[in-house]
């Protein structure tokens, strides 16, 4: 692989950073948080104008025809500023339609996703392992499907127009089916639940015998397991890129504070203990960058071991972002714990993203399984 981004990819990064600097300052982010807003309309519109919503979708469906690396670049920049937009959940939903939908379903839904006219999310229980049941059951009722149960910890469900739902079926030994469910479908309820990250609201979505036509079931390409796995791998890479961006920002804030804050007549950055902390943070950030973009390259290149590198990235980033954001608080000292400083916002995002789509322990077990070694060896 080429370890350097292309000119076009660097242009995408600089454009993203300029836009987010102008429209997603920490002041604006805090205002959105205080107002309980999950979508900043002006920012979302500008992102749509730049074609970000369809980055990884084919051109024939209104996308840009790019790949996981470009998606990771945008997610990294969004993670740096904690932008209050449901970009990644909507990307996951669109990717699921692309992976599992029929040509008719893709033509019907994907252009609106690519244009930013439609917002989506993915109903997967973040508190459980991604391969565990989410408390749902899909049952055939003649020519229709009936969904019952609930899915917990669904991000941005209240802002979504469509939910892509993974549910076990009543058919013996059948793989979970994927369904596209409109937010206003009768029998569907959305209730916000308490969560540590106020900038990414989570919801419990209930399904009270929700009736769906067979055309709402995504089974156009047959391989349900493969489609779900590829979707979750791309989602995992997106979360890792977001965590990378947050970790970078924590490192920058720590170094800046260490250079400015003085104790005993000199900057605290002159003390070896602070220098060691910053050096360790830099090491973790650079390792995180390497594994994240290697996983993105592997997914974009269609490598058979792409799943392995996505799991490796998530296992590492879940721990690294938590540590870097915690050290950012420590370097700031007492003020790092206060509401006025931004340290706690990144720490909360680190904890939230650390368990989304599987925590470090789960993904180390995945790595062990994919490498055919005992999971107890990687705990």
Whether 254 and 137 have beta carbons less than 8 Å apart is answered as no
Q: pTM of the prediction?
A: 0.93
Average pLDDT of 166-189? 85
Supply the CATH number for residue 72's domain: 1.10.540.10
Q: Report the SS3 class of residue 210.
A: strand
Q: How confident is the model at residue 225 (pLDDT cuts 50, 70, 90)?
A: confident
Both 253 and 240 in one domain: the answer is yes
Q: Can you tell me the distance from the alpha carbon of 233 to that of 253, in angstroms, rounded to the nearest whole number?
A: 30
Q: How confident is the model at residue 224 (pLDDT cuts 50, 70, 90)?
A: confident
Residue 333 placed within a domain = yes
Report the phi/psi class of residue 190: left, alpha or beta, with left for phi > 0 and alpha for psi in -120 to 50: beta
pLDDT in tens, 55-111: 999 999 999 999 999 999 999 999 999 999 999 999 999 999 999 999 999 999 999
Whether residues 238 and 357 share a domain: the answer is: yes
Nearest CA among 274, 269, 246, 259 for reference residue 352: 246
Q: How many domains does the chain have?
A: 3
Residue 24 lies in a domain: yes
Q: How many alpha carbons lie under 13 Å from residue 237 in its C-beta half-sphere?
A: 32
Whole-angstrom CA distances from 61 to 64, 65, 107 are: 9, 9, 7
Note down the domain range covering 184. Answer: 122-218
Q: Is residue 2 part of a domain?
A: no
State percent of the chain over pLDDT 70: 92
pLDDT at 127: 44
> Which of 188, 218, 248 is the C-terminal boundary of a domain?
218
Phi-psi region of 201 (alpha: psi -120 to 50; beta: other; left: phi over 0): beta
Among residues 83, 118, 153, the one where a domain terminates is 118
Q: What is the CA radius of gyration of the chain?
A: 21
* 126 and 155 part of one domain: yes
* Cα–Cα distance measured from residue 148 to residue 209, given in angstroms and rounded to the nearest whole number: 5
């Amino acid at each position: 692989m080429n370890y350097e981004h292309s000119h076009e990819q660097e242009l995408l990064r600089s454009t993203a950073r300029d836009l987010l600097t102008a429209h997603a300052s920490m002041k604006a982010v805090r205002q959105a948080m205080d107002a309980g807003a999950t979508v900043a309309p002006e920012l979302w519109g500008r992102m749509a104008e730049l074609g970000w919503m369809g980055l990884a979708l084919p051109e024939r469906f209104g996308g840009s025809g790019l790949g996981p690396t470009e998606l990771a670049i945008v997610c990294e920049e969004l993670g740096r500023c904690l932008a209050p937009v449901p970009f990644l959940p909507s990307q996951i939903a669109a990717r699921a339609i692309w992976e599992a939908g029929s040509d008719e379903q893709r033509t019907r839904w994907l252009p609106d996703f690519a244009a930013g006219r439609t917002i989506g999310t993915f109903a997967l229980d973040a508190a459980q392992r991604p391969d565990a049941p989410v408390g749902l059951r899909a049952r055939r009722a003649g020519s229709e499907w009936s969904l019952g149960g609930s899915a917990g910890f669904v991000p941005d469900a209240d802002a979504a127009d469509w939910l892509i739902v993974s549910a076990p079926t009543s058919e013996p030994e059948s793989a979970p089916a994927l369904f596209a469910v409109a937010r206003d479908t009768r029998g569907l309820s959305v209730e916000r639940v308490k969560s540590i990250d106020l900038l990414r609201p989570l919801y419990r979505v209930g399904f009270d015998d929700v009736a769906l036509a067979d055309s709402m079931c995504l089974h156009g390409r047959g391989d349900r397991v493969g489609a779900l796995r590829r979707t979750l791998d791309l989602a995992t890479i997106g979360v890792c890129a977001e965590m990378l961006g947050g970790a970078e920002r924590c490192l920058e804030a720590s170094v800046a504070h260490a250079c400015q804050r003085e104790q005993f007549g000199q900057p605290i950055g002159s003390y070896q203990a602070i220098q060691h902390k910053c050096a360790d943070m830099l090491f973790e950030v650079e390792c995180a960058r390497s594994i994240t973009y290697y996983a993105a390259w592997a997914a974009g290149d269609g490598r058979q071991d792409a799943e392995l590198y996505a799991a490796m990235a998530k296992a590492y980033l879940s721990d690294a972002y938590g540590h870097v954001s915690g050290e950012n608080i420590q370097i700031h000292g007492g003020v790092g714990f206060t509401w006025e400083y931004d340290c706690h916002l990144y720490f909360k995002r680190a904890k939230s993203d650390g368990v989304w789509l599987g925590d470090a322990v789960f993904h180390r077990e995945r790595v062990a399984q994919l490498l055919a070694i005992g999971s107890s060896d990687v705990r």
